[in-house]
Amino acid sequence: MNQKLMNNNPSNTLLNIAIEAALMAGHEILAVYESGDFSVEAKADGSPLTRADKLAHAKIAAKLEKTGVPILSEEGRTIPFAERAAWGRLWIVDPLDGTKEFISCNGEFTVNIALVENGTPVLGIIYVPDLHELFYGVVDQGALKVEGANGFDNIGELLATAILLPLKHDATTYRVAVSRSHMNERTISFIDSLREEHPGLEIMQLGSSLKFCMAASGEADIYPRFGPTMEWDTAAGHAIALAAGKRMEKADDEGEITYNKENLLNPYFIVR
């Protein structure tokens, strides 16, 4: 199956369909971003929802529904577990990850699409619309990055420019990626413990799933998350990190982080 997913035939692979969906969603998001008309609403949990979230969700759903694989999305989270439990394979999607960053206009927002099989992410795509950067990976096949991803006429040309991850970087500086919006005491304490071994460490504060991208690319050495995340926040980044040879561990106990659980809230984790 993975060999098929990494096939660069632009017409008929799950990878290419998902990349196309992410790019289409990114186009919609940027149009709203540049218009300044966000039409912000409050969801039931108090988090913000914008016109861009809705438009991106519609584009992704229309594209992925053609694959026949069911979709679990942040904007469609109400599907009962009794129904989801029968899904051996599913897409997990966050149409606009980092809505707070989107509203604050700092560019640190992403489109996240993952393919999950039997609770494990096997394929991930993260698109950064404001930077036109695309990260994607298939577990056991590799992770890659495309710059200027909006500038190609077809997926085949786009994938031909992809750069294999992780990239080389300055190994003398230890870098920690952390959330821009969710820094807390436990994260600070964990960073302080890292300083004992890496006294000159640098902190990279980033929004959305960009922290996964930095870990997968090697631009960050570690990404600790001691705060709440949902499955759609992490599935794509988890797949890309695994494809790049990284690990995503539970922070408080052993065992793998799994998906399509009855409770869609993730445990705390560390990527390295």
Closest CA relative to residue 97, chosen from 245, 227, 217, 210: 210
Angle at 133 between CA 131 and CA 134, to 5 degrees: 150
Q: Is 94 a known ligand-binding residue?
A: yes
Q: Is 74 a known ligand-binding residue?
A: yes
Q: Is 233 a known ligand-binding residue?
A: yes
Q: Is 206 a known ligand-binding residue?
A: no
CB count within 10 Å of CB 193 equals 8
Q: Is 108 a known ligand-binding residue?
A: no
Q: What is the rounded distance in angstroms from the CA atom of residue 143 to the CA atom of residue 6?
A: 10
φ and ψ at residue 100, rounded to 5 degrees? -60, -40
| 89-97 vs 71-73, strand pairing mode | parallel
With H, G, I as helix, E, B as strand and everything else as coil, classify residue 123.
strand
Q: Is 99 a known ligand-binding residue?
A: yes
φ and ψ at residue 136, rounded to 5 degrees? -150, 155
Angle at 238 between CA 233 and CA 243, to 5 degrees: 150
Annotated binding site: 74, 94, 96-99, 233
List residues forming the annotated binding site for Mg(2+).
Answer: 74, 94, 96-97, 233
Residues flagged as binding site for substrate: 74, 96-99, 233
